[in-house]
Amino acid sequence: MTLQVYGDLGSGNCLKVKYIADATGTPYVWHDVPVRSGGTATPEFRALNPFGQMPVVVLDDGRPLAQSNAILRYLAQGSRFIPTDRYDAAKVDEWLFWEQYSHEPTVAVARSRVIYDGQDTAKLDPVLVGRANAALDRLEQALTGQVFLVGNAMSIADIALLVYTRSAPDAGLDLAARPAITRWIAACEQELGLTATAAVIKGQS
Amino acid sequence: MTLQVYGDLGSGNCLKVKYIADATGTPYVWHDVPVRSGGTATPEFRALNPFGQMPVVVLDDGRPLAQSNAILRYLAQGSRFIPTDRYDAAKVDEWLFWEQYSHEPTVAVARSRVIYDGQDTAKLDPVLVGRANAALDRLEQALTGQVFLVGNAMSIADIALLVYTRSAPDAGLDLAARPAITRWIAACEQELGLTATAAVIKGQS
């Protein structure tokens, strides 16, 4: 199988797909769809994903799949990135849904307002910043005394939370005061063979 | 296994757990935690779920699991509510993540402002109403020509989307103009043995 991936490497949601494909040795072709210049509004893209959201992957038989965390689950199936224990697998799901409901809409949105909309970090909506910090605090609490989020091994829960947590300083969110998160990021980077923390999310692979 | 469920039957996210437990014949004890009177802020509840969100279920061995859609996946495992086909199962996941990212934060939040905060439907934030209508339009599009969201059988994707779609009229959102959704709600109700559309989400089971 060679996967066709449609995404923008400046988007954390798209990076999730790159990380799991690389980590599982899934062959893929990356089709760059620039998120900020209408790439998701074209009829061609809407035919792949009527939701109009990135990333989207297309299987060999032409069938598309959207939603970054659904793609993570699909590509990780049968790999070490989904626990075999039923309860641990459910805890991974718990983190995946929390990420999309409470973390991405706060941490990633704050970053997006700075990186893409040019807002000053000091002038971000304080409600948004408060929620982003609450999400990071919850993550710090969960990672205290644990190397990874679930069990003793890296899973797709870590990949899902890694992408935007890693770029939180772009939004002026402080990771230096969160030692468990800082250590966890380093552990994830080592596991995935990533380097240059700051650079990756901005577009290089 | 007898599941301990902590939730509020006025919350659609909590109703998801009731529906799948009933549909799969999972024995459970329901512990009512009133969402609007601080029930999730107590130390006892925080010990079950540090996220402070409902619903939470506790297994026989005392281990808790949160996030309504993670609970849906856990309880539906091995049942007819998760497709055996790998691609279809991934499409169910796609809907589950879309529900938490794009549907619940718009359709359910609009309803919450009316039901719990006493806002007039005519005075709801037009941005919020626009997003809620866009989510319902997307659902209408997906259900046109299909009985259920994925394949030809009801799945947890339908249960996840059903709860707040069904109560959308509480927020002044129009279902009468969306015939595919209206038909799909009736099909889900029949499949789950539900009656009295308007009443269920307000607290009766």
Cα separation values, B5 from A58, A181, B8, B63, Å = 39, 31, 10, 12
Count residue pairs from A and B with Cβ separation < 8 A.
84
A72 with A7: CB under 8 angstroms?
no
Closest to A62 in 3D by CA, of A17, A9, A1: A1
What residues of chain B lie within 8 A of the CB of A77, using their CB? 86
Give the whole-angstrom CA distance, residue A111 versus residue A31: 24
> If contacts are CB pairs under 8 Å, which of residues 131-160 in chain A contact chain B?
138, 141-142
What residues of chain B lie within 8 A of the CB of A142, using their CB? 50
Closest to B201 in 3D by CA, of B130, B127, B114, B120: B114
Quote the pTM value. Answer: 0.93
State whether B87 and A59 contact (CB < 8 Å).
yes
Taking CB atoms within 8 Å and a gap of at least 24, the contacts of B134-141 are B134/B106, B135/B102, B135/B103, B135/B106, B135/B107, B136/B107, B136/B165, B136/B168, B136/B173, B136/B175, B136/B178, B136/B181, B137/B178, B138/A50, B138/A51, B138/B102, B139/B103, B139/B165, B139/B178, B139/B181, B140/B178, B140/B180, B140/B181, B141/A50
What residues of chain B lie within 8 A of the CB of A109, using their CB? none
- Tens digit of pLDDT per residue, chain A (205 long)? 899 999 999 999 999 999 999 999 999 999 999 877 788 888 888 888 888 889 999 999 999 999 999 999 999 999 999 999 999 999 999 999 999 999 999 999 999 999 999 999 999 999 999 999 999 999 999 999 999 999 999 999 999 999 999 999 999 999 999 999 999 999 999 999 997 544 444 443 3
- Neighbouring residues of A145: CB distance < 8 A, sequence distance ≥ 6: A180
Q: Domain limits of chain A?
A: 3-76, 86-200
Domain at B3-76: CATH architecture: 3-Layer(aba) Sandwich (3.40)
- Position B204 pLDDT exceeds 80: no
Distance from the Cα of B120 to chain A's closest Cα (Å) equals 24
Sequence letter at residue B146: Q
Please tell me if residue A69 touches chain B, with a CB cutoff of 8 Å: yes
Residues in chain B: 205
Instruction: State chain B's maximal CA–CA distance in angstroms.
Output: 48
Give the whole-angstrom CA distance, residue B164 versus residue B135: 11
DSSP state of B104: I
State whether A65 and B87 contact (CB < 8 Å).
yes
DSSP state letters, A120-164: -GGGS-HHHHHHHHHHHHHHHHHHTT-SSSSTTS--HHHHHHHHH
Give the whole-angstrom CA distance, residue A153 versus residue A146: 10
State whether A50 and B102 contact (CB < 8 Å).
no
> If contacts are CB pairs under 8 Å, which of residues 22-51 in chain B contact chain A?
50-51
Give the whole-angstrom CA distance, residue B108 versus residue B34: 17
Q: Which CATH number fits domain B86-200: 1.20.210.10, 1.20.1050.10, 3.40.47.10, 3.40.1190.20?
A: 1.20.1050.10
State whether A98 and B67 contact (CB < 8 Å).
yes
ipTM of the complex: 0.93
